[in-house]
Amino acid sequence: MHRIAVLILIFAAAAAANSPVVLQDFGIGNLDGGSSLYAGLVMDTAGNLYGAAEEGGIYNAGVVYELSRNTGGGWTETVLYNFTGANRGQDGANPHATLLRDSAGNLYGTTVSGGIASRTCSKGCGVVFKLTPSGDTWQETVLYRFTGGADGSVPYAGVSMDAAGNLYGAATSGGATAGVVYELTPGTPGWTEAVIHTFEDVDGATPYGTPVLDAAGNLFGTTYAGGAYNRGVVYALTPSAGAWTFHALHNFRGSPDGANTLTGVILGPRGTLFGTTTSGGTASCGIAYELAFKKSAGWTETILHTFLGVGAADGENPNGLILDAHGNLFGTSTGGGLYNPGTIFELSPMAGGGWQETVLYSFTAGLDGAYPSSSLTLGPSGHLFGTTLWGGPSGDTTGGVAFEFTP
């Protein structure tokens, strides 16, 4: 297994207060370290960060990497695994989603191609993989290879894990017509996939977001399209006697309530759900929303913020949200802001009701990065960690950065 350690270019000296600190530049001179950072970061108990790059690496099929803090300051990137791509093996290619880390330190993820080629996906239909630390190296195990049939294909979503170690995810296409939600169960000799819901357009289509589990074992997720208005849905899957029951919690209409979500939902207090849509709203630039169950009306959507897009400072096309202990939400937008290549924002509940959006930072498309396309990670000290698709100290517009931001 190839392993790369790269001394980090750090942006701290040039960073002003409340500006991102670049932890790693994925631009010129670091192509082996990965590029196309659609995935966010996950943190271990020691403060190390783990991420996936959809492209780059030795075979240009993507990598899984670690960012570790140096004793004397700065960060070091180590490539944990290079995907070999469709022409070299069946280990997967092009990881897109944020990784999952379990309590033993193993990493789980998906790739959107590689694995088994089929009539519907000539470069492979994608895989679910596990990376296990072993001394100074990491071992990849492919848990499941999608075939492009009833089992689904092209899993842009990542995976969630229940208390028994089962994995849950969504495949963007395959199934009957429009993607599936699946469960992977460990066993001997390997893992078994069971499709727990097949989308058929009328109930949703093209799920991109990672489904999440609540304490009772219910799954919540979103679709990009389909539903009553073909603008996507928020759904729940509830287990009962070995089967799963599908519930459409909300059908997006487009305006004013949003449309076409690329992200999943997160669990809030008292059973509420928070999420974003990438388009829709009154300006067609996306919204942030809350869904809450009310006995008299069922699941009800509240729009927390409507993004106004070009000409406004608040951003457009928001990514997923995270929630802090005080009830504040944080996120990034892929576009908009003062300079157009995206923002870091906060949504705070107001005492009299409603929510207030605050733009914490507008990316400049320069040394600080540009076009963040993933959710943030909240560190124990309240710092925010994330990635961008473009920009960075190298000046390579297609490189991107991993960053730390102090609100």
pLDDT tops 80 at residue 246: yes
In this prediction, residue 30 carries a pLDDT of 59
pLDDT band at 165 (very low <50, low <70, confident <90, very high): very high
Of the candidate ranges 31-35, 98-102, 402-406, the one whose mean pLDDT is the lowest: 31-35
Helix ranges (DSSP H) in 147-261:
none
In this prediction, residue 136 carries a pLDDT of 87
pLDDT tops 80 at residue 6: no
How many whole angstroms from its chain centre is CA 24? Answer: 19
Q: Give me the mean pLDDT over the 185-211 stretch.
A: 96
pLDDT over 90, % of the chain: 81
In this prediction, residue 98 carries a pLDDT of 98
In this prediction, residue 166 carries a pLDDT of 98
Comparing CA positions, the residue from 266, 279, 226 lying closest to residue 98 is 266
Torsion angle (degrees, nearest 10) of CA 378, 156, 373, 230: -110
In this prediction, residue 28 carries a pLDDT of 66
Phi-psi region of 404 (alpha: psi -120 to 50; beta: other; left: phi over 0): beta
In this prediction, residue 31 carries a pLDDT of 63
pLDDT tops 70 at residue 15: no
In this prediction, residue 310 carries a pLDDT of 74
Please write the tens of the pLDDT for every residue from 177-195.
Answer: 899 999 999 998 899 999 9
pLDDT tops 90 at residue 254: yes
- In contact, 91 and 129? CB cutoff 8 Å: yes
In this prediction, residue 4 carries a pLDDT of 33
In this prediction, residue 10 carries a pLDDT of 29
Please write the tens of the pLDDT for every residue from 21-80.
Answer: 999 999 765 567 888 999 999 999 999 999 999 999 999 999 999 999 998 889 999 999
In this prediction, residue 312 carries a pLDDT of 83
Average pLDDT of the chain to the nearest whole number = 91
pLDDT band at 9 (very low <50, low <70, confident <90, very high): very low
